[in-house]
Amino acid sequence: MIESSIKIAHISDLHLAGRNDRRLLQYLDGMLEHFKKVKVDHLIISGDLTDTAEPKDWQILKDRLIAHDLYEWQKVTVIAGNHDLINLEEEMRFYNVLNPLPGIRNRSFSGKVSRFCTMFSELIVSEDASVAGFPFVKILKVDGFSFALVAVNSVWPWHPADNPLGARGCISPSELRVLRIPDVVDVLRESFVVGLCHHAYKVYSTESVIDQAFDWTMELTNRNEYLEVLKLLGARIALHGHFHRFQSYRVDDISFFNGGSFKYSPERYSELIVRCDGSFSQQFLNLA
């Protein structure tokens, strides 16, 4: 008897620099074809699709997925990273020259998030595109068992004091509140749950002062609140990117897997196999 399972491929941090980034786009084409060849059931891309925070460059990835016949709700999940939503040079220019109020910056940021969700709405919701947004839950039925992705936006708006490099993360308390609603918890009870956000739960976490300073610029500021929600939802796994290192680690019985950076390692990806009995295995693979 063949055991039912779902094969997940996870990549992150593509950092596409526009349509002239031909070398990286060639690598991407090769990777997408590989996923089809090895019969990946679902591809997850955990943010930093681009280096420009420009919607026209988000379109590059969308076009590539369409060209490879992968742009479907049941085949791919995409979330945003800080480089997709924050143009650091632009933010600093606006702050220094025009000094906009924080509320103006936050509204502009929210608009950018909405545009991202509109761009990839077909991958976020299966029916009504107008409701595409964060958080979102995707429940995939595979041969009699249920696999659920719970995605949140961890990108935090730029701030001159709290987020001067635009790389620190914070999940909106309102998103976490939605996921604590009893109906959400109940609907996920029979599923194998995987959490998904861009920012890492753990970066370096060493005693080095230099490493700690780097940690501060990259950290997910409310990671413990996120962890508690994952535990409430019964998540076994959490996927992320942001910190350009392929790594795995465990926190309170939840396995975290970092998808590394496709830009710097375009031949490498994370493969996750989830079986119908609730067991799973993960490995980092290289293209032959």
pLDDT in tens, 149-167: 999 999 999 887 788 788 8
Task: Work out the mean pLDDT of the chain and round it to a whole number.
Answer: 91
* Residue ranges per structural domain of the chain: 5-286
pLDDT in tens, 60-76: 999 999 999 999 999 99
Mapping DSSP to helix (H, G, I), strand (E, B) and coil, where does residue 55 land? helix
Q: What is the pTM of this model?
A: 0.93
CATH number of 5-286: 3.60.21.10
pLDDT in tens, 195-235: 999 999 987 555 555 554 556 578 999 999 999 999 999 99
The pLDDT of residue 223: 96
Which residues, including other chains, have CB under 8 Å from residue 58's CB and lie 6 or more apart?
49, 50, 84, 116, 119, 120
Strands of the 136-142 sheet, one edge to the other: 136-142, 145-151, 192-196, 235-240, 254-259, 246-251
Among 236, 272, 6, residue whose Cα is nearest residue 140: 6
Sign of the CA dihedral 121, 125, 127, 133? negative
Q: How far apart are CA 89 and CA 101, in angstroms?
A: 18
Q: At residue 101, does pLDDT exceed 90?
A: no
State the distance between the two ends of the chain, measured CA to CA, in whole angstroms: 30
* Residue 46 near residue 79 (C-beta atoms within 8 A): yes
Please report, as a single letter, which amino acid is at residue 21: D
* pLDDT confidence band for 145 (50 / 70 / 90): confident
The pLDDT of residue 108: 84
Please report, as a single letter, which amino acid is at residue 79: I
* pLDDT confidence band for 97 (50 / 70 / 90): very low
Extract the runs of DSSP E, i.e. beta strands, from 23-159.
42-46, 76-79, 136-142, 145-151
Q: How far apart are CA 25 and CA 27, in angstroms?
A: 5
pLDDT in tens, 7-51: 999 999 999 999 999 999 999 999 999 999 999 999 999 999 999
* Residue 240 near residue 201 (C-beta atoms within 8 A): yes
Among 127, 138, 265, 131, residue whose Cα is nearest residue 196: 138
pLDDT in tens, 251-287: 999 999 999 999 999 999 999 999 999 999 999 999 9
pLDDT in tens, 109-133: 999 999 999 999 999 998 887 889 9
* Residue that the structure tokens 């490498």 belong to: 268
* Residue that the structure tokens 């992968």 belong to: 70
The pLDDT of residue 130: 80
